[in-house]
A and B are shown apart, each in its own frame.
Chain A
Amino acid sequence: MSRIGVFICHCGENIGATVDCEKVAAAAAKIPGVVHSVDYKYMCSDPGQNMIKEAIREKNLTGVVVGACSPRMHEPTFRRACEEAGLNPFLCEMANIREHCSWVHEKGDPTTEKAIDLVRVIVEKVRRNKPLVPIKVPVTKTALVLGGGIAGIQAALDIANAGHKVIMVERSPSIGGHMSQLSETFPTLDCSQCILTPRMVEVARHANITLHTYSEIESIEGFIGNFKVKIRKKARSIDMKACTGCGLCSQKCPTRKIPSEFDAGLGTRPAIYVPFPQAVPNKPVIDRLNCTYYLKGKCRLCEKVCPTQAIRFDQEDEIVEADIGAVVLATGFEIKHGDFFPEYGFGKFKDVIDGMQFERLASASGPTLGEIRRPSDGKKPETVVFIACAGSRDPAKGIEYCSKICCMYTAKHAMLYRHKVHGGNAYIFYMDIRAGGKMYEEFVRRAIEEDGVKYVRGRVSRVYEREGKLIVQGADTLLGAQPVEIEADMVVLATAAVANDGAEELAQKMHVSYDAHKFFAEAHPKLKPVETNTAGIFLAGACQAPKDIPESVAQASGAASKVGALFSQDELTREPVIAVVNRSAPPLYSTCVGCFLCQAACPYQAIEREEIRTRDGKLIKTVAKVNPGLCQGCGTCVAVCRTKAIDLQGFSNEQVFAEVMALLDRSEPDAGI
């Protein structure tokens, strides 16, 4: 027979003002099996907790119900108190009579009656609670950082400096990410590469960091503290140990007209190339899709000129396996390209370019060595129109969100243009100027007031070419939506920042959720901004949402500190709210029939096959088994299982069934006995 204690909290006036707590405690006392029922002003206070502990000891309670606030607030408090008094903490549950009752209803009988109902439901649940033991799992103290942009670099360095091993995986041949492509950075106009490259070198040299460039994640399995990852190192066609990075191969390569990814298509590169002079590692890669040898079967010029015989045409992809304990996703973002803007002629007119291309034009290491020359004929453009929100904040285009970085970089672009082309006209079409950030607003004002950038508040409807000019057709909403037409020499689109290519596939591989725009989802928009809903996987940088450099760096350090906290323990404790497949005596062994329809429903691949055999090894039946390390306790399998062979600890069929029954049964408790 159960011996349940009920403790009703007044929470000062918070509950007491609308709910008659004494009456609730008195009603609870009448429920069969309740041997102790009291009310008190502050149950969560030390005296309150002591009341619970004493009652557990004195009355030998087998269950505790605290009628108070939301279990999301104080469940850990009361469970700990129970544990201290020698009661299994999972025999304690809370009835939420504050958030779900006293705060949302008027004072009166119906509210008190509801509070009684809520307590009765939880009493019936607790009666069926079973003592559970938290699950302990070991922690592998190696972190995987996916992505070698500024966010990944920061996270990797912070974790490595805390003394933990880091494996960094970068998809492209060099780390550095988008930041390495930028010319100057707002709001200080300091050189992007000058501040980035020392960190890139530090990553390469750090004793705790293993770097895999030109590599991707093949698969990941496991759970927090215990992931197993397979990394595909794509064939670089280079012996990295033999190569000295002298660069002779690139100089001699006859195929030279390939659009350079680093220069956003404005410059060219050879088929064997180092993406940019400060690349880390500073060793080339052969682009097999464009290399004459791979296309036509002859050439091998690079092999001939290589002084160290480092070219390996027959190199194959290599799969590297690693055990890791945590993951930082820092895979970054991309900007929208292609014919997403037919109305702006992007892709059709050479002089309509995107923001990243402008960065390369303005960069001293870029294709024009930092001079602003338009792509079509190399002339200095006399009039440049910058279009902010190209795609962003445009539900008709399917991108409702603000890309956040464009206001600032467009101001920077216009400013750089005015600095470099004296007498040039810079127009910016904008919706709103969003310059929230330290020194950001001042930066925009400087563009307007000191550098004479002309801001036009309105949208551009169309850009078309006429007689060698780009006609920008828009409206000035501050002049009564008057149509404006500007004859420009170059148009720069601040195109929307979007999730990286393959973000969705990666998210599915990692089992993290992602939003409608394929940005990775944080566990809580405010309180868990670097966690994902998958324990042990953290987020840094623009893979979560568009972000500028300072924000990406801050989040990366946040993610690194979370990894550090995780790695500070040798073992993890997890709540035992997991699914279990029942076992029973022969000849049934389990009510599981082995149909495995639950397998597809499990979001965590936690359901495995188990063969039940006789002692001499004869197979009796194959049934489902839940891997307690992988199961997160959603219970979807429980609802799918028609034989009720799977049950969820903490939310068992018996418990929820009893809750429904108890909720609706307002008959006097002793009437039925």
Chain B
Amino acid sequence: MPEFEPRIVAFVCNWCTYAGADLTGTSRIKYSPNVEVIRFPCTGRIDFMLLLKAFAEGADGIIISGCHPNDCHYTSGNFHARRRWILFRGLLDFMGIDVERVQFSWVSAAEGAKWADVVNTTVEAVRKLGPYENFRKIDRAGAV
């Protein structure tokens, strides 16, 4: 049986992490292909609902990444995002949604190697956790 290949969706900001991931490429640092990036202007733009949507559509893990505190291109979008994630993560955890599958990180435009590391460790961690069966099994067929 082939090894389980998790699918990871990454929501990243344009100015730090997207550029950092570009640098990973420019530096030819290899990492797992299981992750795919969706670009946002800023972590402040990322709607919490998109995380639920990603899980609902079959993501096994999620990476959210943006500029380090104080480095935000827009001064403070990441600070707002951080608050949003503090609360949202607490709520998900309380509802038994597997928050271990959501990796938040700060990756700057200079941290190409860190991006590769964030991806690889997240992929490995999610691989260990296995497919997100709870969400895959959830009923979506119709009315009760």
Which residues of A are interface residues toward B (Cβ below 8 A)? 70-72, 96, 98-101, 103-106, 110-111, 113-114, 117-118, 121, 511, 513-516, 521, 524-525, 533, 577, 601, 603-604, 632-636, 638-640, 648, 650-651, 653, 656-657, 659-661, 663-665
Contact between chains at B41 and A634 (CB < 8 Å): yes
Asked if residues B38 and A121 are in contact (CB atoms below 8 Å), the reply is: yes
Q: How far is the CA of A639 from the CA of B66 in the complex (A)?
A: 15
- A528 CB, nearest partner CB in chain B, Å: 11
From A110, A533, A651, B5 is in contact (CB under 8 Å) with: A110
Which of A96, A121, A636, A651 counts the most B-chain CB atoms under 10 A from its CB?
Answer: A636
Query: Which residue in chain B gives the minimum CB-CB distance to A648?
Result: B45
Cβ of B106 within 8 Å of any chain A Cβ, yes or no, is no
Given contacts A105-B31, A636-B77, 9 further A-B contacts (CB under 8 A): A111-B33, A525-B110, A603-B74, A634-B44, A635-B77, A639-B47, A640-B80, A660-B9, A663-B9
Specify the chain A residue showing the minimal Cβ separation from B119: A104
Q: Which of A70, A104, A516, A603 contacts B28 (CB 8 A)?
A: A104
**Out of A99, A651, A664, which one reaches B22, CB within 8 Å?**
A99
A511 surroundings in chain B (CB, below 8 A): 75
Query: With a CB–CB cut-off of 8 A, which chain A residues contact B19?
Result: 72
Q: Which residues of B contact A70 (CB under 8 A)?
A: 18, 22, 25
**Known A114-B33, A663-B9: A651·B40 in contact at CB below 8 Å:** yes
Q: Are A100 and B75 in contact (CB under 8 A)?
A: no
> Which residue of B34, B57, B59, B75 is within 8 Å of A603 (Cβ)?
B75
B31 touches A516 (CB 8 A): no
B58 CB–A CB distance under 8 Å: yes
In the complex, per-residue mask of B44-88: 1 if CB is within 8 Å of any chain A CB, else 0:
111110100110011100000000001111111100110010000
Residue of A nearest to B48 (CB): A639
Closest to B74 in A: A634
Contact indicator A639/B84 (Cβ below 8 Å): yes
- CB pair B74–A632 under 8 Å, yes or no, is yes
Minimal Cβ-Cβ distance residue in A for B72: A513
Give the number of residue pairs across the A-B interface with Cβ within 8 Å: 140
Which residue in chain A gives the minimum CB-CB distance to B57?
A: A664
A537 CB to nearest B CB, Å: 12
Q: Are A639 and B45 in contact (CB under 8 A)?
A: yes
Residues from chain B with Cβ under 8 Å of A513 in the complex: 70-72, 75
- Supposing A99-B24, A104-B24, A105-B31 touch, asked if A636 and B42 sit within 8 A by C-beta, the answer is yes
Q: Of the candidates B26, B34, B46, B54, which one forms a contact with A664 in the assembled complex, judged by CB atoms under 8 Å apart?
A: B54
B70: chain A residues at CB < 8 Å are 513-516, 521
| A98 and B25 contacting across the interface, CB-CB below 8 Å | yes
CA of A425 to CA of B50, assembled, Å = 69
Are B30 and A104 in touch, CB under 8 angstroms? yes
Residue of B nearest to A534 (CB): B75
Residue of B with least CB distance to A601: B80
Complex A-B: 14 CB contacts under 8 Å: A72-B19, A100-B21, A104-B29, A104-B31, A110-B5, A121-B38, A514-B70, A524-B109, A533-B75, A603-B76, A639-B46, A651-B45, A656-B40, A661-B57
Enumerate chain A residues within 8 angstroms of B54, measured Cβ to Cβ.
Answer: 660, 664
Bound-state CA distance A117–B48 (Å) is 22
